[in-house]
Amino acid sequence: MPNVNCTVYFRENGSSKIYSVEQAKSRVGSYGIRWYEGKRQRQEIIGTYPAASAAKLRKELELKKACRKANSTAAPEELVKVDVAIETFVREREDLNSASARRWKIELDLFKQHSGKEYLSQLTREDVFAYRKWYKDHGRSENTVALRTSSLFTFGIRFNVLFNLFSKNERKRLTLRTDGPVDYYTENDLYELKKFFAACNDEERLRFMFFLHTGAREREVSYAGFRDLDLTNRTFRIDEKTYDGKAVRIKNRKGRTVPIPQIVADALTKWRDMPDTRFSLLDGPRPKNGNHQLIFTNGNGGPEGHFLYQLKQIAFRAGLNCGNCATGSYDEFFNIIPGTERSCKDAPCCEQWTLHKFRRTWATLHLWNGVPITTLQAWIGHGDLTTLNRYVAHINAKSEMAKQMTDNLAKMTLVQGGIFAEAVAATVEV
């Protein structure tokens, strides 16, 4: 059998010497891959280790595919295993976004577990439908089921499996999602945010005012630095960057600049100029983060990763929980583990309080105040207007014009009803 193995190597900058991955620590250079075509060795410089690792797996799959073409009686060991395909797929995404890669890993491993198949070539339509049914049986919404199916097809496209077992119309039907409600803070209670911010301390208030007045996503706020702020012109720049030697990606890889109000710019200026021992949400002081200062940090001076936990704690303190949410810790089959059940009547776990809801509030209020939808699209970082059009439709349904139109319709139907009643009465008399 031809050699279908590929190895990752490290080449130091300015030197022809090649190191193993284990020897490459603390050295400056690039990773690459090496393989054999017949008796001739080939190699290719890739860049980062995750990218080279993913390229290694891709090359091995490519070599195995060529081997199968040359030998139609290939043994099962030469077929592509589901485990290998998942690892390849996840490694490719790990180089772009490690958090996204972890989610893909969990989801694809779950599908493999329920399919029970070892090789990609064994996957069938029935595996997809069984996976969808399993999600439905565990109370997942239609939108969640559609999203999971779409993820399987994305994985399948990469390896030419699964998606090609369905027609285009079938794929569209199985991945069709309905538009959920566009909810935002203050929609049902004008003073909701006022109560929320009244329950905050100074640092908490600045943190969530920043969410509210930038429309930024959680990851974008976690890695926001003072260098991203132009406090003179009152703007916040959201872009890809490097932090602690790692790439910090943003959704759709679309950078943007967002205006911020004067009151927030003033608060950020004061926050930036506070001494290193400024008050922290955690017990005790915490230092600023060297020359590359993050705006908001955890107790160790690193990126804050508990915004959602803090948000729910404040909402609970303010008495803003809806009182209807029941949650707990789930096992791998989405069953609540006994003893972990909680209700938002007496615990900070209300599902009505989310970080993304600040983003929807920010977008909705801008549209209410006449910001052109194309301008808002540039600020919010959406690739198209589909989502923002939902916001507009939601706002239009609540507008004064909509109310006037429905009142006019009601008056017209009452008049027509009166005319109809008079005609009936006249007919009876005749």
Query: Which of 129, 156, 178 lies at the terminal end of a domain, its last residue?
Result: 178
pTM summary value? 0.71
In a domain, 349, yes or no: yes
Q: What is the pLDDT of residue 81?
A: 86
Q: What is the pLDDT of residue 78?
A: 45
In a domain, 68, yes or no: yes
In a domain, 281, yes or no: yes
In a domain, 415, yes or no: no
Q: What is the pLDDT of residue 371?
A: 93
Q: What is the pLDDT of residue 278?
A: 45
| pLDDT by 10s per residue, the chain, length 430 | 456 677 877 777 666 566 666 666 667 778 888 888 877 888 888 888 777 877 887 787 777 777 766 655 444 444 688 988 898 888 877 765 666 788 888 889 989 988 889 888 888 999 999 999 988 887 788 888 999 999 999 998 888 888 888 888 888 999 987 777 788 999 889 899 999 999 999 999 999 999 999 999 999 999 999 999 999 999 999 999 888 877 788 887 789 999 999 999 999 999 988 765 444 444 333 344 443 489 999 888 889 999 999 999 999 999 999 999 887 766 655 566 777 788 999 999 999 999 999 999 999 999 999 999 999 999 999 888 888 988 888 888 887 878 888 788 777 777 666 666 666 666 666 4
Does residue 248 share a domain with residue 150?
Answer: no
Query: Which of 339, 354, 369 lies at the terminal end of a domain, its last residue?
Result: 354
In a domain, 425, yes or no: no
Quote the number of domains for the chain.
3
In a domain, 332, yes or no: yes
Instruction: CATH number of the domain at 215, please.
Output: 1.10.443.10
What domain range is 72 assigned to? Answer: 1-79
Does residue 196 share a domain with residue 327?
Answer: yes
Contact in structure between 321 and 126 (CB atoms under 8 Å): no
Does residue 349 share a domain with residue 269?
Answer: yes
Does residue 207 share a domain with residue 252?
Answer: yes
In a domain, 8, yes or no: yes
In a domain, 205, yes or no: yes
Does residue 197 share a domain with residue 239?
Answer: yes
